Amino acid sequence: MNVVETLTARNADFAAARFTPGLRLMPSLKTIVIGCVDPRVDPSEVLEAKAGEIATLRNIGGRVTPELLMELAMLRQVTQAFGGDIGPGWEFIVLHHTDCGITRLEGQPEVLSDFFGVDEKALDEQHVSDPRAAVTHDVATLRSDIRLAGVRVSGLVYDVTSGTVETVVAP
């Protein structure tokens, strides 16, 4: 059985036994988690979120980049098109983790500066090798974006060796 066959067979089991009909488009906890694509750090798994409770956006490192900010602004517009809004009463959680693959790119400033949309001289401000400092920086970036005014923002760091989450920046 190839990968697609394996996964579609699992989907059949999901649809038959665990599918939750009637979920709403907006997450019930009014929460968006920004996390890393690393398969060890699936936000729904790590935070034990139930189906429909949170929305997740994942990229390399779970970082707040210019592209992610544009995506969040677009999500706000989509929400407004449905008669709602991402603003007061909503939460963004930035979830970084230890042993992140992005740290292996520290010797490639041209790649990192392009990803973050900054000059190579400003890369130190991104704190690529320190997840706690990086999550603090990214929370500050979200909090300062006027397009996202009113959203509560916090920052967590997940330890891939212990499975625990530490609150680095409280909401």
The predicted model gives 146-161 an average pLDDT of 95
Please report how the helices 131-144 and 66-81 are oriented relative to each other, as an axis angle in degrees rounded to 10. 50
Q: Does residue 30 register a pLDDT over 90?
A: yes
Summarised one tens digit per residue, pLDDT across range 101-127 is 999 999 999 999 999 999 999 999 999
Instruction: Count other Cβ atoms within 10 Å, centred on residue 69.
Output: 16
Residue 25: per-residue pLDDT: 87
- State pTM to two decimals: 0.94
Q: What is the pLDDT of residues 43-85, one digit of tens each?
A: 999 999 999 999 999 999 999 999 999 999 999 999 999 899 9
CB 136 within 8 A of CB 152: no
Give CA–CA dist 105/119, Å, rounded: 16
Question: Who contacts 17 (Cβ-Cβ below 8 Å, separation ≥6)?
Answer: none
At residue 136, what is the residue type? T
Q: With 90 as the cut, is the pLDDT of residue 134 above it?
A: yes
Backbone angles phi, psi at 160, to 5 degrees: -70, -15
